[in-house]
Amino acid sequence: MNRKTHQGWAPSKKKYVDFYRKKMPQLDPELFGNPVAGTRFADFGAAHGGMSEYLVKELGWQGHASSLAVDDGGFAMQFEDPKLSYHDCDMAREGAWDVSVGRIAKGSCLFVNAGIVVDGGQSKGPDGAEKKSVHIYINELICALHALASGGALYFAFQPSAAMPGCAGLFRLLLILRPYFSKRPRITPTSSPDRKPLYCYL
């Protein structure tokens, strides 16, 4: 498959590279402001490749990325480099997380971008009625925590919505994760501050 050809609209990769170039050193001056060449990372939900390009081209890091295939409705991965391995992956499919875990050594990545982990929306109850719901993407979280090194940084997105008044789902997740991270949680906007989702950095 030619991953540089996508059926339909795809966001601008350059816009995201520019955003990460500015935002990441502000979030963590030690890790991103004074980068160490060869640092390993994992980038889940990576397409179109803005984060991976920033980490590889500008910081000299190396790592692994995965994302939903174009044929399954994902964006095309628009970045390739010898320092980046890549595979298509639909985390919603049974066993998919196990394949991803097998491609990355446990605890090998100082930084992990987990993609969207918490999402609010609608679901149907037993009676068929629509109701507000909060969904935590367990497969993405398992892969991220598997790859993350001790003392490493976790970056993930969440979708605020009417289903999460006060972002209750996010706060519950942070309470679970907090004992494993020394950094103070920081919530930041995307490259378009007026849009969802938001990012959380641990």
pLDDT score recorded for residue 12: 74
Mean of pLDDT over the chain:
82
Among 6-20, 122-136, 156-170, which is the least confidently predicted range? 122-136
Residues 156, 173 contacting (CB under 8 angstroms) = no
Which of 133 and 17 is assigned the larger pLDDT? Answer: 17
Which of 100 and 146 is assigned the larger pLDDT? Answer: 146
- Cβ-in-10-Å burial (0-12, 13-18, 19+) of 33 comes to exposed
Handedness of CA 87, 92, 97, 99 (dihedral sign): negative
At 166-198, the pLDDT tens digits run 466 777 788 888 878 877 888 887 766 555 678
What whole-number distance in Å separates Cα of residue 152 and Cα of residue 202? 9
At 27-56, the pLDDT tens digits run 999 999 999 999 999 999 898 899 999 999
pLDDT band at 2 (very low <50, low <70, confident <90, very high): very low
Q: Which residues contact 98 (CB under 8 A, 6 or more apart)?
A: none
Which has the closest alpha carbon to 66: 83, 93, 84?
84
Residues 183, 154 contacting (CB under 8 angstroms) = no
With a threshold of 0.85, does the pTM exceed it? no
